[in-house]
Amino acid sequence: MYEGSGSEERIIHVCVNMDCAMRGSEALRDRLQAAVDEQGADLEVNDYVCFAACEQGPNLLIEHKRAFYSEVSEADAEGIVAHALDGPPVEAIDKSSSFIAKKIFNMLDAGFKPGDLSLSEQT
Ligand code: FES
């Protein structure tokens, strides 16, 4: 796994599209937000729509860490937040070396901003 340049925004993007939502991603997102709030962490939790890894969801991206996780459960929330705050990765669910993760990181390198496609910004 490699990390980004540090210029990325400190955002955890959680897929809430249908397949991930059916596997509990909305509850995961809420648990992540609660963990961020409890710690007063300088992190944003963002609703995202589909990383094209639907069958492995719930999926999420920690943008500034260049970390991609699959099959994430609510029980992983504290570990994910810790990683986003410079702790170690949650190795059991870390898919940052996967094909899809590398494609996402290439898009970030090319200037893609996942937040631009977020549900949070839509009305
Ligand atoms: S539905 Fe979550 S990655 Fe596609």
In tens, the pLDDT along 53-110 reads 999 999 999 999 999 999 999 999 999 999 999 999 999 999 999 999 999 999 999 9
CB-count burial class (<10 Å; 0-12, 13-18, 19+) for 32: buried
Show the domains of the chain with their CATH numbers.
11-117 (3.40.30.10)
Q: Is the CB of 50 under 6 A from ligand 1?
A: yes
Question: What kind and span of H or E run contains 11?
Answer: strand 11-15
Residues 6+ apart with CB under 8 A from 102: none
As a whole number of angstroms, the distance between CA 68 and CA 57 comes to: 11
In the chain, pLDDT over 90 holds for what percent of residues? 81
- Say what the pTM is: 0.89
Q: Show the CA angle centred on residue 16, arms to residues 122 and 107, nearest 5°.
A: 75
Helices 77-84, 25-39: axis angle to 10 degrees equals 50
For the chain, the average pLDDT equals 90
Q: Is 59 in the pocket of ligand 1 (CB under 6 A)?
A: yes
> Could you tell me if the CB of 114 is within 6 A of ligand 1?
no
* Residue 123 pLDDT grade (very low, low, confident, very high; cuts 50, 70, 90): very low
From 14, 23, 51, 99, mutation site for ligand 1 pocket: most ligand atoms within 8 A of C-beta = 51
Q: Which ranges of 13-98 would DSSP assign to H, the alpha helix?
A: 18-22, 25-39, 77-84
Whole-number pLDDT of residue 69: 98
The atom number, within ligand 1, closest to the CA of 20 reads 2
Q: What is the pLDDT of residue 117?
A: 65
Cα(85) to ligand 1 centroid in Å equals: 24
Name the residue type at position 62: I
Is residue 30 within 8 Å of 64, Cβ to Cβ? no
Element (H, E) at 23: none
pLDDT exceeding 70 applies to what percent of the chain? Answer: 88
Q: Which has more confidence, 30 or 122?
A: 30
